[in-house]
Amino acid sequence: MARTRKTPVARNGELAAPILHRAARIEDWYHELREKRGRKRGLKTTIIPYSGYGGPGWIRVLCRVVLTRGDVASQRVAKVRGWRSFFSIPVDDVVVTISAGGVEHKVTADRGGVVDTRIEVDLEPGWQSISIAAEDNSEPVTATIFVIDPAIGFGLISDIDDTVMVTALPRPMLAAWNTFVLDEHARRPVPGMAVLYERLVRAHPGAPIIYLSTGAWNVAPTLRRFLDRNLYPAGALLLTDWGPTHDRWFRSGKEHKQTSLERIAEELPTMRWLLVGDDGQHDEEIYAEFAAAHPDNVKAIAIRQLSTSEAVLAGGRSRAADEGTDDAALWVFAPDGAGLAEQLSDAGIMTDDDRPDVRP
């Protein structure tokens, strides 16, 4: 097994880059080879923008840099789906210029071509637009950012697979199916969930929505089209990069959700969140741990219960609904959005009662 090192090593007063896992080195070599061949074929650097979020004085910008064809490359990338999205060619170490609030910020894409950075800038609350461009004169693109007003005090964080979208697949096959096969036309929404989310947004004007999933950034355009087609409210999309990390063969979806929740709690300390997931993965465990660590940041936890056939394919379901939970957060369980909405309404969460006293 290749030796790994998680932290840089000091050499002659300078920090050396961490030693990459063998799988990561192979992946980097493969991407470099494909990038060279792609540029010889005339492919151009293209930025795929993702919706981000922010607060007073800062925004979180998300995008991915890849190689595609033609002058309308960004439009064509948006239409790539299924297995083709996995074979897009990422461009790493490219400098990206982010223009927001009249100020330019330069950042560098990571090994997978992903840019996930925090920019210090003051923007008005609500949906705002920023511009992103690569250093090689590629066509700039527009990304949307939802700037959260701290006075709102309430927001929604939602899982995707089997929470807003029915997958009905064995868990080991889920990632491969979603990445290589399915497009948004073949996916079915969970009954009543879009209506539930829309009611929550109406009850809490200005409330942010963050869709947190273990899916890869490769399929973000497909997931966004699915959400739009099925009338889910717009929100930021937090996915993970495909492939090995610098120190392991496979990425941890559970760790991705845990670290994302911790980051959100740190960035937005006055927010209280409704956490929505399902009982076929680790959502209940992750949400329970988060609620125990940050009780002031959790308004309630809503769990969509899988059907019997879905639970069998998912490898069983949690027994939290039957055994109860040992934390102070409000938990509700139902097989669809209508059932969750009824219980959340009874608990008073469908009304706008979360506006904290935010002091400057």
Q: Which CATH number fits domain 42-147: 1.25.60.10, 3.40.50.300, 2.60.40.10, 3.40.30.10?
A: 2.60.40.10
Q: What is the pTM of this model?
A: 0.81
Which residue shows structure tokens 């609904």? 321
Q: Supply 48's token pair.
A: 């795929």
Rounded Cα distance, 348 and 357, in Å: 20
Mean pLDDT of 159-172: 76
Other beta carbons within 10 angstroms of residue 172's beta carbon come to 8
Q: Which tens digits make up the pLDDT trace of 177-193?
A: 555 555 555 678 999 99
Q: Quote the Cα angle for 286-4-32, to 5°.
A: 95
Least confident stretch, 203-212, 267-276, 324-333? 324-333
CATH of domain 154-346: 3.40.50.1000
Task: Indicate the average pLDDT of the chain.
Answer: 78
**Would 42-147 and 154-346 be classified into the same CATH topology?**
no
pLDDT at 304 over 80: yes
- Band the pLDDT of 359: cuts 50, 70, 90: very low
Domains of the chain, by residue range, sit at 42-147, 154-346
pLDDT at 174 over 60: no
The contacts of residue 292 (CB under 8 Å, 6+ apart) are 327
Q: Which helix (H) or strand (E) holds 103?
A: strand 103-108
Pairwise pLDDT comparison (233 vs 24), residue with the higher score: 233
Q: Is residue 359 classed as helix, strand or coil in its secondary structure?
A: coil
